[in-house]
Amino acid sequence: MEEKRKRRKECSGEFLHMDLTDEIKIVDVINAGSFGDIYLGRNNITNVEYAIKFDKNETPRTQKNFFKEFVLM
């Protein structure tokens, strides 16, 4: 039986090095998934890091899932 290979999705890198606000900048790529790309963001003042997800499509499902994925640590 042939083993199925999982394809890793490529992050577009489209938002890399983008300033989200005066304080938060996207500094690296973390991963890509079925619904969007995940980046590493950093607060330039406090150096606190964040995972930031950009959804590829805005649908009721992605909006609903957003609240399941949001975690404040």
Q: Is 38:14 a contact under the CB 8 Å cutoff?
A: no
Residue 67: inside a domain, yes or no?
Answer: yes
Whose tokens are 């983008």? That residue is 18
Q: 64-69 long-range contacts, Cβ below 8 Å, gap at least 24?
A: 65/35
How far is C-alpha 64 from the geometric centre of its chain's CA atoms? 16
Residue 31: inside a domain, yes or no?
Answer: yes
Residue 49: inside a domain, yes or no?
Answer: yes
Structure confidence at residue 45 (pLDDT) = 95
Nearest Cα neighbor of 15 from 68, 56, 46, 44 is 56
- Per-residue pLDDT for 27 more than 80? yes
**Domain, as residue range, for 73:** 8-73
Structure confidence at residue 1 (pLDDT) = 45
Q: What is the mean pLDDT of the chain?
A: 79
CATH of the domain at 45: 3.30.200.20
* pLDDT tens digits along 31-66: 887 778 889 999 999 999 988 888 777 666 666 776
Structure confidence at residue 3 (pLDDT) = 53
Residue 3: inside a domain, yes or no?
Answer: no
Residue 2: inside a domain, yes or no?
Answer: no
Q: How confident is the model at residue 72 (pLDDT cuts 50, 70, 90)?
A: low
How far is C-alpha 39 from the geometric centre of its chain's CA atoms? 4
Q: Which helix (H) or strand (E) holds 62?
A: helix 60-69
